[in-house]
Amino acid sequence: MKANYARVLIDRSIRRELDYAIPESFAEKIGIGSRVRVPFRDKAALATVVAVLEESGASGIRPIEALVGDKPALSAKLLELARWMAAYYCCSIETVMRSLLPQVIRKAEVGWKKQLFVRRGRAASAEEIEKLRKRAPRQAELLEAVAQLHEPKLAADLLRETSLDNQTLRALEKRGFVELREEAVERDPHADEQFVPTTNLVLNSEQATALAAIEKALEAPAKAKPFLLHGVTGSGKTEIYLQAIRWALNNGKTAIVLVPEISLTPQTVERFKARFAEAQDMVAVLHSHLSEGERHDEWHKIQSGRARIVVGARSAIFAPLENLGLIVVDEEHETSYKQEEAPRYHARDVAVVRGKLEGCVVLLGTATPSLESYFNATRGKYQLLNLTQRVDDNQMPLIRVVDLRQEKRKAKSLTIIGDKLHTAIIARLEKREQTILFLNRRGFSTSLLCSACGEARECPNCSVALTFHRTASRLSCHLCGHTAAVPKKCPACHEDALIYSGFGTEKVEAHVMHLFPKAEVRRMDADSMTRKDAYRETLRAFRAGKIDILVGTQMIAKGLHFPNVTLVGIINADLALHLPDFRAGERTFQLLTQVAGRAGRGETPGEVFVQTFTPFSPSIQFARHHDFTGYFEQELEFRERCDFPPFRHAVLLTVRSAHEGRAKFSAETIARRLREALPAEFILGEPTPAPLEKLQGQFRFHILMRGEAIVRLSRLVRETLDKLPMPEDVIASVDVDPYQLL
Contacting residues toward ligand ADP, per CB under 6 A: 201-204, 207, 231, 233-239, 391
Contact partner, 237, from ligand ADP, Zn ion, none, Cβ < 5-8 Å per class:
ligand ADP
**Gap between the Cα atoms of 650 and 371, Å rounded:** 14
Shortest reach from residue 275's CB to ligand ADP, in Å: 10
Shortest reach from residue 696's CB to Zn ion, in Å: 6
Is residue 570 a contact partner of residue 624, using CB atoms and an 8 Å limit? no
Shortest reach from residue 669's CB to ligand ADP, in Å: 50
- Within 10 angstroms of residue 187's Cβ, the number of other Cβ atoms is 15
**Sign of the torsion angle spanned by Cα atoms 130, 131, 132, 137:** positive
Decide whether 52 or 248 has the Cβ nearer to ligand ADP. 248
Is residue 693 a contact partner of residue 712, using CB atoms and an 8 Å limit? no
Decide whether 198 or 463 has the Cβ nearer to ligand ADP. 198
What is the DSSP secondary-structure string of 319-355?
---SSEEEEEEETTT-GGGB-SSSS--BHHHHHHHHH
- Residue 163 makes CB contacts below 8 A (sequence gap 6+) with none
Shortest reach from residue 568's CB to ligand ADP, in Å: 15
Contact partner, 280, from Zn ion, ligand ADP, none, Cβ < 5-8 Å per class:
none
- Angle at which helix 710-722 crosses helix 76-88, to 10 degrees, equals 70
Count Cβ atoms within 10 A of the Cβ of residue 560 and give its class: 0-12 exposed, 13-18 middle, 19 or more buried.
buried
Decide whether 235 or 720 has the Cβ nearer to ligand ADP. 235
Contact partner, 477, from Zn ion, ligand ADP, none, Cβ < 5-8 Å per class:
Zn ion
**Gap between the Cα atoms of 481 and 488, Å rounded:** 22
- Which one, of 332, 329, 327, 328, lies nearest residue 368 by Cα? 332
Is residue 328 a contact partner of residue 256, using CB atoms and an 8 Å limit? yes
Per DSSP, helices labelled H in 89-185 are: 93-100, 103-107, 126-135, 137-147, 155-162, 166-174
Decide whether 162 or 461 has the Cβ nearer to Zn ion. 461
Q: Give the phi and the psi of residue 63 in degrees, each rounded to 5.
A: -80, 155
**Gap between the Cα atoms of 104 and 670, Å rounded:** 37
- Which one, of 423, 435, 438, 426, lies nearest residue 545 by Cα? 435
HEC readout, 191-255 = CCCCCCCCCCCCCCHHHHHHHHHHHHHHHCHHHCCCEEEEECCCCCHHHHHHHHHHHHHHCCCEE
Decide whether 268 or 445 has the Cβ nearer to Zn ion. 445
Contact partner, 479, from ligand ADP, Zn ion, none, Cβ < 5-8 Å per class:
Zn ion
Collapsed DSSP state (helix, strand, coil) of residue 436: strand
What is the DSSP secondary-structure string of 567-585?
EEEES-TTTTTTSS-TTHH
**Gap between the Cα atoms of 498 and 622, Å rounded:** 41
Decide whether 237 or 694 has the Cβ nearer to Zn ion. 694
Contact partner, 238, from Zn ion, ligand ADP, none, Cβ < 5-8 Å per class:
ligand ADP
Is residue 541 a contact partner of residue 547, using CB atoms and an 8 Å limit? yes
Decide whether 210 or 477 has the Cβ nearer to Zn ion. 477
Decide whether 303 or 698 has the Cβ nearer to Zn ion. 698
Q: Which residues bind Zn ion (CB under 5 A)?
A: 459, 461-462, 477, 479-480, 482
Shortest reach from residue 311's CB to Zn ion, in Å: 35
Decide whether 236 or 325 has the Cβ nearer to ligand ADP. 236
**CA-to-CA separations, 425 to 10, 44, 258, 415, 438, in angstroms, rounded:** 60, 65, 35, 15, 13
Q: Give the phi and the psi of residue 715 in degrees, each rounded to 5.
A: -65, -45
Half-sphere exposure of 649 (CA within 13 A, CB side): 17
- Within 10 angstroms of residue 283's Cβ, the number of other Cβ atoms is 25
Shortest reach from residue 597's CB to ligand ADP, in Å: 7
Decide whether 479 or 519 has the Cβ nearer to Zn ion. 479
Decide whether 204 or 483 has the Cβ nearer to ligand ADP. 204
Collapsed DSSP state (helix, strand, coil) of residue 271: helix
Shortest reach from residue 480's CB to Zn ion, in Å: 3
Shortest reach from residue 205's CB to ligand ADP, in Å: 10
Contact partner, 201, from ligand ADP, Zn ion, none, Cβ < 5-8 Å per class:
ligand ADP
Decide whether 427 or 479 has the Cβ nearer to Zn ion. 479
Shortest reach from residue 602's CB to ligand ADP, in Å: 10
Shortest reach from residue 273's CB to ligand ADP, in Å: 15
Decide whether 92 or 461 has the Cβ nearer to Zn ion. 461
Contact partner, 483, from Zn ion, ligand ADP, none, Cβ < 5-8 Å per class:
none
Shortest reach from residue 389's CB to ligand ADP, in Å: 11
Q: What angle (nearest 5°) sits at the alpha carbon of residue 663, between those of residues 661 and 666?
A: 105
Decide whether 333 or 457 has the Cβ nearer to Zn ion. 457
Shortest reach from residue 267's CB to ligand ADP, in Å: 10
Shortest reach from residue 342's CB to Zn ion, in Å: 22
Q: Tally the residues of the chain.
A: 742
Per DSSP, helices labelled H in 281-418 are: 292-303, 347-358, 371-378, 404-411
Contact partner, 459, from Zn ion, ligand ADP, none, Cβ < 5-8 Å per class:
Zn ion
Collapsed DSSP state (helix, strand, coil) of residue 690: strand
Decide whether 257 or 721 has the Cβ nearer to ligand ADP. 257
Contact partner, 233, from Zn ion, ligand ADP, none, Cβ < 5-8 Å per class:
ligand ADP
